Amino acid sequence: MFRSFFEQHYSLKETTWQQVISLFSPATLDKNSFFIREGEIARTMAFLESGIVRGFYRKDNGEEYNKVLFSAPSFFGDYASLISGRPALFSQQALTDARIWVADYRQFTRLYDTCPDLERFSRKWAESIFVQKEQREIELALFDATHRYLNFRKAYPEAEQQIPQYHIASWLGISPTQLSRIRRKLTAS
Amino acid sequence: MFRSFFEQHYSLKETTWQQVISLFSPATLDKNSFFIREGEIARTMAFLESGIVRGFYRKDNGEEYNKVLFSAPSFFGDYASLISGRPALFSQQALTDARIWVADYRQFTRLYDTCPDLERFSRKWAESIFVQKEQREIELALFDATHRYLNFRKAYPEAEQQIPQYHIASWLGISPTQLSRIRRKLTAS
DNA sequence: GAAACCTCTTGACATAGGTAAAGAAATCAG
DNA sequence: CTGATTTCTTTACCTATGTCAAGAGGTTTC
């Protein structure tokens, strides 16, 4: 199962793992269905076993910005809402049919008191998603859209075939028009 | 001292706090001096008691991008390098004379084994800096430069007087020229 | 106080990227 | 298979912002 992925930053004791895994139950997310909608308070964390999920923000004018793409295998969920207990600023939606594992976040955090290794795990986990965010920040700040698109193709080689280009464009922070222009230039050369 | 700031996310036991505080020693950072330089491996974390520190990245062409501004009171240090043990991608430099408190990060993390409350503290801390990063990400993605500048003035009301505009422009992700144009438009209206 | 330096503003010009609209191509539903 | 829908490309035009260079104020230094 997803144990090796789960423990990539820190290995849990067997007894802790058993308790953790018992919190997760399998589920499916049909294409276009939502895992969480903006305004809801996140209660569950999830593991994406197959498929692609986007996290997006809807601007005042109705336009959407794809803040994050999750491509299996990956954890997902609105961490900010889980952590803070405040309503989600983002929605998360499946872009393909997806198989997932879902767990209640409160039940998970309740284990911290009896399983210090799980708290350590979560510290390392939080540290690592912070570092990831920092890397995305650098990308957006320092590279132009062409460069980001090439990076995207390396990072998500399969995703490009599976989701519409306008979602990719949105994640890159550009319009579909501009992505099309970039693609034309790249194939021309 | 900085206890109330330190404990804003989670309160430590008295004995833990005593051990933590004993790791910190006072120091000063003169204007323009570096706390850490790109390429070094970060060993220390710090608390900024007064002054302003920037974290910046130097591009291939020598240009600099101010990734983060720390304005007292604030913790700072290259978390990514501390966490990963890898060389820093960024430098951190005082933009004004600064008073700081410095602690060895390894000594700090060594306390986790005997002080589970400190590990919890650090989990919450890591979670909160993740959420902060997410907010900065939203700002850069969704707001235009004028809007970001206005937010900056709210968030760092004193900083604007103390540091050159080109540092602010860099943090906003625009050129000094463009910031100047934005300022002109704002005063005109 | 003059020279040197630093910072900010301004103007001229170039470019990446936005918007809107139309048509082409691909995909889906019956 | 056919019509409807979705997605992608292209064109035309516009705007925010970049680069470069010049100049105006300030500050610092000797």
Are B82 and B173 members of one domain? no
> How many domains is chain A partitioned into structurally?
2
Quick one: three-class SS letters along chain A? CCHHHHCCCCCCCHHHHHHHHHHCEEEEECCCCEEECCCCECCEEEEEEECEEEEEEECCCCCEEEEEEEECCEEECCHHHHHHCCECCCEEEECCCEEEEEEEHHHHHHHHHCCHHHHHHHHHHHHHHHHHHHHHHHHHHHCCHHHHHHHHHHHCCCHHHHCCHHHHHHHHCCCHHHHHHHHHHHHHC
Are A126 and A58 members of one domain? yes
Q: Which nucleotide is nearest to B177 (CA to C1')?
A: C9
Are A50 and A74 members of one domain? yes
pLDDT tens, N- to C-terminus, chain B (189 residues):
789 999 999 999 999 999 999 999 999 999 999 999 999 999 999 999 999 999 999 887 778 999 999 999 999 999 999 999 999 999 999 999 999 999 999 999 999 999 999 999 999 999 999 999 988 888 888 888 999 999 999 999 889 999 999 999 999 999 999 999 999 999 876
pLDDT (0 to 100) of residue B2: 82
The CATH number that applies at residue B30 is 2.60.120.10
Per-residue pLDDT at A188 exceeds 90: no
With CA atoms as reference, report the closest residue to B112 among B99, B125, B128, B98.
B125
Give the end of a domain, one of B141, B159, B180.
Answer: B141
Percent over 70 (pLDDT), chain A: 98
**Distance from residue B99 (CA) to nucleotide C28 (C1'), in Å?**
66
- Rounded Cα–Cα distance for residues A120 and A142 (Å): 33
Q: Write the DSSP string, A17-61.
A: HHHHHHH-EEEEE-TT-EEE-TTSBP-EEEEEEESEEEEEEE-TT
Contact B47, B2 (CB under 8 A): yes
Are B94 and B149 members of one domain? no
Are B75 and B166 members of one domain? no
Instruction: Assign A189 a pLDDT band (cuts: 50, 70, 90).
Output: low
**Distance from residue B30 (CA) to nucleotide C15 (C1'), in Å?**
40
Are B44 and B97 members of one domain? yes
pLDDT (0 to 100) of residue B130: 94
Give the end of a domain, one of A110, A135, A160.
Answer: A135
ipTM of the complex model: 0.89
Query: What residues of chain A have any CB closer than 8 angstroms to a CB in chain B?
Result: 57, 59, 65, 67, 79-80, 83-84, 89, 112, 116, 119-120, 122-123, 126-131, 133-134, 136-138, 140-142, 173
pLDDT (0 to 100) of residue B139: 85
CB < 8 Å to B57, chain A: 138, 141-142
- Rounded Cα–Cα distance for residues A149 and B151 (Å): 29
- Minimum-distance CB partner of A65 among B65, B84, B142: B142
B47: tokens are 């608390």
pLDDT (0 to 100) of residue B189: 62
Question: With a 7 Å cutoff on the CB, does A31 touch strand D?
Answer: no
CB < 8 Å to B65, chain A: 141-142
Work out the mean pLDDT of chain A and round it to a whole number.
93
Instruction: Assign A174 a pLDDT band (cuts: 50, 70, 90).
Output: very high
Are B150 and B110 members of one domain? no
Per-residue pLDDT at A135 exceeds 90: no
pLDDT (0 to 100) of residue B50: 94
Are B108 and B189 members of one domain? no
Per-residue pLDDT at A105 exceeds 70: yes
**Distance from residue A75 (CA) to nucleotide C15 (C1'), in Å?**
39
Question: Would the CB atoms of A128 and B83 count as touching at under 8 Å?
Answer: yes
Instruction: Assign A138 a pLDDT band (cuts: 50, 70, 90).
Output: confident
Are A125 and A154 members of one domain? no
Are A12 and A58 members of one domain? yes
- Domain containing B19: what range? 3-141
pLDDT (0 to 100) of residue A60: 74
Question: Would the CB atoms of A130 and B128 count as touching at under 8 Å?
Answer: no
Are A108 and A164 members of one domain? no
Are A83 and A121 members of one domain? yes
Mean pLDDT of A91-98: 96
